[in-house]
Structure 1
Amino acid sequence: MLEINKGIGKPVEFRGLKGTYLYLSVGIVISSLLLALTLYGLFGLNTYLATLIVIGSALGGIWFCIRLSAKYGVSGLLKLEATRNQPKAILISSANPFAQLRETKRSKSSNRIATAGR
């Protein structure tokens, strides 16, 4: 019998590009088409020069995506971005929050349970 849902839970893949990198490369191709419209239509650049610039930028962007996909894996780019957004250090300029924690009162029943185990 054939398995119906054999692709569920796997990332989208096309020629080695998986997940986020596939969507990123599609965005690069679409933006290169917009670049072609801009170079040829608005600026009146030579057709061959505009085509060369667009194809070079599209191939370079896709090559970069393939390199990132091989280096970081499926969700590695998201993990890399998350580590970049973390603070290097947490600086505390006042001890007041910790003093308030120390001054909280505990119930006597929890103290008995804690001392009974000693």
Structure 2
Amino acid sequence: MEYGINKGVGRSAEFKGLTAQYLFIFAGGLLAVFVLFVVLYMAGTDQWLCIGFGLAAATALVFFTFRLNAKYGEHGLMKLAASRRRPRYLINRKNVYRLLRDRKGKEAGHA
């Protein structure tokens, strides 16, 4: 089977409804699940336990990735990360008189 990635001019990549950074989350998550599966199997964990873990983790990854895509949209995760880095409050410890005086000086052309 061959799946094409739909991409128009100036649009972000889209695959099966996943857009932008969700493709990287999805691919990286599946790779991490596979590596964890191999590590567990090589460590001697029961084969059926490894298969069950792999299926459950991959199913959860698919579910949560599509849920994030539907909830936040193409640029939503970047906006969420940016809003978390923005300060909640701006604190200005100057008194009101000094703020007004400094503002008048700048308007009058003083540096």
| Unaligned residue ranges in structure 1 (runs of 5+) | 1-5, 108-118
Matches within 5 A, 1:1-118: 7-42=8-43, 44-95=44-95, 98=99, 101-102=102-103, 104=105, 106-107=108-109
Q: Which has the higher contact order (CA 8 A, sep 6+)?
A: 1
Name the larger-Rg structure. 1
| Distance change (3 Å), C-alpha of 1:58 and 1:103 | same
**Alignment correspondent of 1:115:** none
Q: Give the length in aligned residue pairs.
A: 101
Scaled by the length of structure 1, what TM-score is found?
0.73
Gaps of 5+ in 2: 1-6
Give me the whole-angstrom Cα distance separating, in 1, the residues matched to 2:30 and 2:70.
Answer: 20
Instruction: Tell me, in whole angstroms, the C-alpha distance in 2 between the residues paired with 1:71 and 1:13.
Output: 16
| 2: CA distance, partners of 1:16 / 1:77 | 16
CA RMSD between the two structures: 2.2
1:10-35 CA-partner distances (Å, limit 9, x unpaired): 11111111111111000100000111
